[in-house]
Amino acid sequence: MDKERNVYRAHCLVLAYPAQGHINPMMQFSKRLEHKGVKVTLVITKSISNTMHKEATSIALETISDGYDEGGIAQAESIHAYLERFQRVGSQTLVELIEKVSSSGCPVDCVVYDPFVPWALDVAKKFGLLGAVLFTQSCAVDNIYYHVHKGVLKLPLSETEILLPGSPPLGPQDMPSFIYDFGSYPAYFDTLVGQFSNVDKADCVLVNTFYELEQEVVDRMNKIWPLKTIGPTIPSMFLDKRLEDDKDYGLSIFKPDTDTCMKWLNGHPKGSVVYVSFGSFVDFEVEQMEEIAWGLRMSNRCFLWVVRESEEEKLPKHFVEETSQKGLVVRWCPQLKVLAHEAVGCFVTHCGWNSTLEGLSFGVPMVAVPYWSDQSTNAKYIMDVWKMGLKAPVDEKGIVRREAAEHCIKEIMEGERGKEIKKNSFKWRKLAKEAVDEGGSSDKNIEEFVTTLVDSLSIS
């Protein structure tokens, strides 16, 4: 035990909620902690571990049970049932894991947890450990849910303009879908508002963003708790290059068709390709998929489109064959490498927070096609606050029509507005890199977190 203590400054157990957009930032934060001399054990559920493709990483990986080890959330009769069982079974198996890990020679000093599983803090406190919450969505979105939690933002919405401290004026459609479409997913809504149920008991509040990106709302929320921005949680190779071999997240639900994608991109000029990806979860209606397809075709631009196997049947008949001279459709791709490729000049995205941060960090102008959750808020900021993309307008049915998709792509790739968007994209890319580089705002915050953790050990 003494030998382990001499090697590491402290030991953190990092618990991720079982979804790709939550695991990625937890993994990347773990790597940053390890770089600072902290031993890290990343914890995911058995069900998600069984389905993920794992690449070599120095981060130790352990699992707990969500009560559905064979199929995860898909095995549960409802989202509510899944979350309820996950809390009960997850709490118990987390206790067992902490006991097991601590008895193996390097006791756990701190639990870093996703606020989607606030019960992890209760477990940490039972053992007398430090508890640090890491919010994996934007600070702007956290601010919205916090005001709902406090009862300041009344639901269902009645105002046509929502004014919150630290945020620009927001319309109802700029709010997360669980708020503007109140009652649509009650279990998820309860989870998102419930993130704040015991946050006041946390020893540290971390947010996956960087200060320069959300300065006003960070300053405002900093008056409630001392926030530490630690993002963007992007592999070091694409930003500061200080972490050796940190070229990918290391865990992926789908296996990417890397060779096909990169070979295809290598054959295209700089800034000529439209990259389209709606993530691992979005499930568009057939009509919306068809409109996106037609919009791409009408833009007359080369495109790389990620269409998951479960979504392929929604494409127009013969679309892939008829557009093969201009486009490539794949089931999954290495998104980081694609966005870093100089051929990519536009990113059509659902605006999940991970994808938004990736677009910002690589400086790729975005066309926002939000689907649900926080994506509509992220899209608002992309277009009107950070001014590095366009939000595709929808019709009365909520569908982005082909003409709208075509217009947004052409405006970014060749229009006057696109020039300003590209200029802003370069600015954010530079600021993202500076934030995580040595002495940057996020780097300093991570170092301060580690120092606080180490100091608490010397006191105890």
Alpha-carbon gap, residue 110 to 130, rounded angstroms: 4
Sign of the dihedral through C-alpha 166, 452, 435, 388:
negative
Percent above pLDDT 90 for the chain: 88
**Sequence-ordered list of residues with C-beta below 8 angstroms from that of 142, at least 6 positions apart, any chain:** 135, 195, 207, 221
Q: Which fold has domain 256-432?
A: Rossmann fold (3.40.50)
Q: Is residue 459's pLDDT more than 80?
A: no
Least confident stretch, 28-37, 132-141, 278-287: 278-287
pTM attached to this predicted model = 0.95
Q: For the chain, where do the domains classified as CATH 3.40.50.2000 start and end?
A: 2-250+437-459, 256-432
Q: Is residue 5's pLDDT more than 70?
A: no
Task: Determine the pLDDT at residue 324.
Answer: 94
Backbone angles phi, psi at 327, to 5 degrees: -125, 165
Half-sphere exposure of 4 (CA within 13 A, CB side): 14
Catalytic positions, please? Answer: 22, 114
Q: If you average pLDDT over residues 30-39, what whole number do you get?
A: 96
Q: 97: helix, coil or strand? A: helix
Could you read off the pLDDT of 98-114 as tens digits, one per residue? 999 988 888 999 999 99
Q: Which fold has domain 2-250+437-459?
A: Rossmann fold (3.40.50)
Alpha-carbon gap, residue 275 to 240, rounded angstroms: 24
Could you read off the pLDDT of 9-22 as tens digits, one per residue? 999 999 999 999 99
**Sequence-ordered list of residues with C-beta below 8 angstroms from that of 433, at least 6 positions apart, any chain:** 239, 240, 361
Could you read off the pLDDT of 158-176 as tens digits, one per residue? 999 999 999 999 999 999 9
